[in-house]
């Protein structure tokens, strides 16, 4: 394996690291991030490495690349194995909703919304007590902090099934990461790390390497922070030569980075692929609604998002509020819908808690009505994992690559975003979608050109 100058520099910096010192690698899309990490672990083969991946799919791929001196897992897996057995907890089957929390605690909807918000903020934070959120979050009533503490204690006692955020927070509060003995800890996808994960990473008594792309932060809705920007490191390096993208793709990627992100470092194409053959085409949408539009237009496809996730909630809303057979409909998975008398009440609820998924599902139910069943069945009959055409959202496309990419028309112009966080998120999503392409790209939106 021939290493680039940037990769050699990174390996040399890795060798210099001392316990609790950190190296930050800002790796642009397709620049050989995994290859670089693999080279580090092989060049320092007498050391034990812990590689922390973003999800289990990445873990599976990483295990194929790394040798026996590297233990590969997710932080969630470390926390799950330690906390769930210790407290004898059960993972919830449905996500927490304000309306359900209200019933558990005997409080009204608006207070339950605040309790859930406080609980979520606490679990995703590096704070040690819920009390520390006073002055940061301002609920309708101050008693919501006490109810949030009560809710947390009920989960810990096993009275309520826990979510993934709970056991991760408990792992952080107990400082269990410090018990693990590794020479190096590698944190992948550091740009999408939330404060609780970052706190756990800091607890390791090891040499530490963070790697990620500061422009691929796309999970703000999970309270993620860009560790690439906020964490203090002893050393930093860039990987800027993409071996995936052609010059055309790099041109559009740099256009996004310069125009919206004011990035001064340029992505460079190192792709030597002269073959123009298109074996796979990815249709990348911003929302589920646009995936449904692609399903109507394309004859055969491989949808990378579960069809039940795309249609399930929309169909449930249609059957609960609009269908002539609504009195016969019963789906336990979506039982919470029955707590709203009319669809307008559900819409008000969705808008109040800013649930984008629920808002989109309501729109689909009202737009397609009974035709949703037809589309769902058509989607199942058209689904073929070997199909040339691949359907996915921008969030689902991360980490993938295709010969040709079609960017759907539902991507927003970042300039139209009012909030700065939305501006950054939309800019990053556009960059992620563009850099999935290796050879060709098409934009359905004229505003981009």
Distance between CA atoms of 405 and 434, rounded to whole angstroms? 7
* The predicted structure's pLDDT at residue 109: 85
Residue 146: inside a domain: yes
Where the chain has pLDDT below 50, the residues are: none
**Final residue before a domain boundary, out of 189, 218, 239:** 239
- Whole-angstrom CA distances from 311 to 135, 260, 333 are 40, 33, 13
* The predicted structure's pLDDT at residue 222: 61
- Asked if residue 76 and residue 108 are part of one domain, the reply reads no
- Asked if residue 299 and residue 157 are part of one domain, the reply reads no
* The predicted structure's pLDDT at residue 57: 85
- Split into its structural domains, the chain has a count of 3
Residue 87: inside a domain: no
* Structural domain for 328, as ranges: 277-448
- Asked if residue 386 and residue 362 are part of one domain, the reply reads yes
CB of 290 within 8 A of CB of 407?
A: no
CB of 237 within 8 A of CB of 23?
A: yes
**Final residue before a domain boundary, out of 133, 161, 189:** 161
- Find where tokens 């295990």 sit: 63
Distance between CA atoms of 206 and 200, rounded to whole angstroms? 12
* The predicted structure's pLDDT at residue 223: 64
* The predicted structure's pLDDT at residue 196: 95
Residue 92: inside a domain: no
- Asked if residue 192 and residue 341 are part of one domain, the reply reads no
129-159 burial, b if ≥16 CB within 10 A, otherwise e? ebeebeeeeebeeeebbebbbebbeebbeee
* The predicted structure's pLDDT at residue 331: 87
- Asked if residue 403 and residue 380 are part of one domain, the reply reads yes
What is the token pair recorded at 391? 């359907």
Q: Which of 432, 441, 430 is nearest to 405 (CA)?
A: 441
CB of 261 within 8 A of CB of 215?
A: yes
Residue 372: inside a domain: yes
- Asked if residue 359 and residue 302 are part of one domain, the reply reads yes
- Asked if residue 68 and residue 130 are part of one domain, the reply reads no
- Asked if residue 287 and residue 358 are part of one domain, the reply reads yes
- Whole-angstrom CA distances from 293 to 286, 303, 325 are 12, 13, 26
- Asked if residue 187 and residue 47 are part of one domain, the reply reads yes
Residue 263: inside a domain: no
Residue 248: inside a domain: no
- Asked if residue 423 and residue 282 are part of one domain, the reply reads yes
- Asked if residue 112 and residue 192 are part of one domain, the reply reads no
The CA-based angle 22-63-76, given to 5 degrees, is 60
Distance between CA atoms of 269 and 425, rounded to whole angstroms? 24
Distance between CA atoms of 7 and 4, rounded to whole angstroms? 5
Q: Is the pTM here over 0.85, yes or no?
A: yes
**Final residue before a domain boundary, out of 239, 267, 290:** 239
CATH of residue 186's domain is 3.40.50.300
- Asked if residue 190 and residue 157 are part of one domain, the reply reads no
Q: If DSSP states are collapsed to H, E and C, what string results for the chain?
A: CCCCHHHHHHHHHHHHCCCCCEEEEEECCCCCHHHHHHHHHHHCCCCCEEEEECCHHHHHHHHHHCCCCEEEEEHHHHHHHHHHHHHCCCECCCCCCHHHHHHHHCCCHHHHHHHHHHHHHHHHCCCCCHHHHECCECCCCCHHHHHHHHHHHHHHCCCCCECHHHHHHHHHHCCHHHHCCCCEEEECCHHHECHHHHHHHHHCCCEEEEEECHHHCCCHHHCCECHHHHCCCCEEEEECEECCCCHHHHHHHHHHHHHCCCCCCCCEECCCCCCCCCCCEEEEECCHHHHHHHHHHCCCEEECCCHHHHHHHHHHHHHHHCCCCHHHCCCHHHHHHHHCCCHHHHHHHHHHCCCHHHHHHHHHHHHHCCHHHHHHHHHHHHECCCCCEEEEEHHHHCCCCEEEEEECCCCCCHHHCCCHHHHHHHHHHHHHHHCCEEEEEEECCHHHC
Residue 364: inside a domain: yes
- Whole-angstrom CA distances from 114 to 13, 98, 108, 290, 424 are 46, 8, 10, 32, 26
Residue 305: inside a domain: yes
């Amino acid at each position: 394996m021939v290493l680039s100058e940037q990769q050699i520099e990174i390996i040399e910096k890795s060798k210099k690291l001392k316990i609790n010192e950190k190296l930050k690698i800002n790796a642009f899309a397709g620049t050989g991030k995994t290859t670089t990490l693999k080279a580090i672990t092989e060049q320092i083969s007498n050391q034990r490495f812990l590689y922390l991946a973003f999800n289990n799919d990445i873990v599976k791929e990483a295990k194929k690349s790394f040798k026996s001196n590297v233990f590969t897992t997710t932080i969630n897996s470390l926390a799950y194995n330690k906390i769930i057995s210790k407290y004898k907890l059960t993972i919830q089957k449905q996500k927490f909703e304000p309306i359900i929390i209200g019933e558990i605690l005997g409080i009204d909807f608006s207070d339950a919304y605040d309790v859930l918000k406080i609980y979520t903020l606490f679990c995703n934070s590096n704070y040690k007590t819920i009390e520390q959120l006073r002055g940061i979050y301002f609920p309708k009533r101050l008693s919501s902090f006490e109810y949030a503490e009560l809710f947390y204690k009920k989960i810990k006692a096993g009275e309520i099934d826990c979510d993934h955020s709970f056991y991760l927070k408990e792992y952080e509060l107990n400082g269990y990461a410090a018990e693990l003995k590794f020479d190096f800890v590698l944190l992948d996808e550091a740009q999408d790390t939330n404060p609780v994960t970052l706190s756990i990473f800091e607890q390791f008594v090891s040499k530490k390497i963070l790697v990620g792309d500061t422009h691929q932060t796309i999970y703000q809705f999970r309270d993620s922070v860009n560790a690439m920007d906020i964490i203090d490191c002893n050393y930093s390096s860039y990987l800027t030569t993409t071996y995936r993208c052609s010059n055309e793709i790099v041109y559009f990627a740099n256009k996004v980075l310069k125009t919206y992100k004011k990035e001064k470092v340029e992505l460079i194409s190192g792709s030597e692929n002269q073959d123009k053959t298109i074996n796979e085409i990815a249709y990348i949408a911003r929302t589920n609604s646009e995936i449904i539009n692609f399903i109507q237009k394309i004859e055969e496809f491989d949808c990378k998002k579960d069809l039940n996730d795309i249609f399930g909630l929309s169909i449930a809303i249609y059957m609960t509020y609009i269908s002539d057979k609504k009195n016969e409909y019963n789906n336990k998975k979506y039982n919470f819908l029955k707590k709203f008398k009319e669809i307008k009440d559900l819409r008000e609820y969705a808008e109040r808690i800013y649930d984008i998924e629920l808002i989109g599902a309501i729109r689909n139910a009202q737009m397609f009505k009974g035709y949703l069943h037809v589309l769902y069945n058509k989607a199942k009959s058209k689904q073929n994992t070997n199909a040339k055409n691949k359907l996915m959202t921008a969030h689902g496309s991360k980490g993938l690559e295709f010969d040709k990419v079609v960017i759907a028309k539902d991507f927003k112009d970042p300039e139209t975003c009012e909030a700065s966080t939305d501006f950054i998120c939309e800019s990053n999503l556009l960059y992620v979608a563009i850099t999935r392409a290796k050879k060709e790209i098409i934009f359905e939106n004229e505003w981009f050109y």
